[in-house]
Amino acid sequence: MDVPPDFLCPISMELMEDPVTIATGLSYERKNIEKWFFTYKKKTCPATMQSIKNFDLTPNHNLKRLILAWQNQNKASQSCSSSSSSSSPSVKHDEMLSLLKTIESSPFKVSSLKKLRSIIEIGDEIINTDFILSSGVEVLVQIIVQILYESHDFVTFRACEEALGVLQQLPLSEEERTFELLSKQESIKSMAIMLQRGSAEGRLYTITIFQKMSKSNYDWNFVIQDQGIDFFKSLLELVSDEICTKASSRALDVLIDILGGSKKSRLKAIEAGAVCVLIELLPDSNRSSKCEKVLVLLKLLCECAEGRQAMVEHGMAIAAISKKMLHVSNTTTKIAVKILWRICSLHPTERVLEEMLVYGSVKKLLALLHIDGRSSTKDKALKMFKLHGNLWKRYPCFPCEMKEYLALVDDSR
């Protein structure tokens, strides 16, 4: 059912459950306005941007009673609408066209966009094709690019988020019209803004679209040149999101695609603090898929001298990487050995070599040498012992049995 506008929180555009009134006389959902005032330290009314000195929140009991009465009246209607999801494609087609017309003509687009998203969510291939052929993507892209010109307008921003919520459900491939429209510079700029300033949902929608674009061979050079370090900071913030694991995983995928494409992108990521963020993610990355993605990114950054230097300077880098060897998967072990090989062959400071011994890297490398068969991972482990074995065996904590093994290694040179 269409929700009366006065029942919607101006911040989230969701039906209010605990409405409170602020000094300007407008009502907001309590948790949203509290976050606005006390978490984000804002001193303005979100809807009017009027300056505020009194931050008292007064419960709006009358509005709450009206909302509850409206909900009770519409329970029957809501149950009917939920059963309409099985309606025929022709009915959905007509409803979709009607919604697109409303979206184009009305300044209040959010409600219609939500309904449109519920139709596309069904995942019916005929409906999705119908939507694209009816110029639905063009209509939504126009909404998205509006935030380039009205980025401070709350209503425009919410409409953009909902439009992205529809578009992220569509399939994307390089030869399709949807990909072409979303790849345009204005669209990319708008989505980059959403990635930086959008709500949690808005950022999830955006990173989902970016993930699909990366799978369709999108060239990220324009984004890197246009957005610079800010773009990587937004991605790294999502990577660190402990609440929305979907957003975090998709941001990792996008970063892998970007950093795998050019050295310039790696330098920008390093400047944005990628090494520090990724190293601090490793201890809690217990799922093999996430751990592998983080290590792949660190390996890519290690291909730059700046990346290796940042890793050497990080106090927990060697410890975090060593911990994942032989504990998560064969792939994580293989990648971790590659990282250690790059560091200790190109940046073999005494501190790094000591940390490799203290944090168990050397012991695990020795274990790899005892595995039957030949592999590139085993070869790298052997090379590390040949380079630094004499230094490691001088330490008191170096096991006696390892000294005997190193003597055999020396004899094999």
Residue 180 C-beta-side C-alpha neighbours within 13 Å? 5
Report yes or no: 87 and 124 within 8 Å, Cβ to Cβ: no
Please say whether the beta carbons of 287 and 248 come within 8 A: no
pLDDT along the chain (413 residues), means of 10: 82 89 94 88 86 92 89 67 53 85 85 89 79 91 89 80 93 82 94 89 93 91 91 93 84 95 92 95 85 95 93 92 89 94 88 89 87 85 87 74 60 53
Asked if residues 145 and 186 have their Cβ atoms less than 8 Å apart, the reply is yes
* Helices and strands (H, E) in the chain, number of each type: 24, 3
The 10 Å Cβ neighbour count of residue 51 is: 10
Full strand arrangement of the beta sheet holding 58-59: 27-29, 19-21, 58-59
377: left (phi over 0), alpha (psi -120 to 50) or beta: alpha
Residue 151: its pLDDT value, please? Answer: 64
Phi, psi of 328 (to 5 degrees): -105, -60
Rg (CA), the chain: 27
CA distance 191 to 148: 10
Q: How far apart are CA 288 and CA 90, in angstroms?
A: 45
| Token code pair at residue 286 | 């217990």
Which pLDDT value is given to residue 76? Answer: 53
pTM of model > 0.85: no
CA separation for the pair 399, 68 (Å, rounded):
72
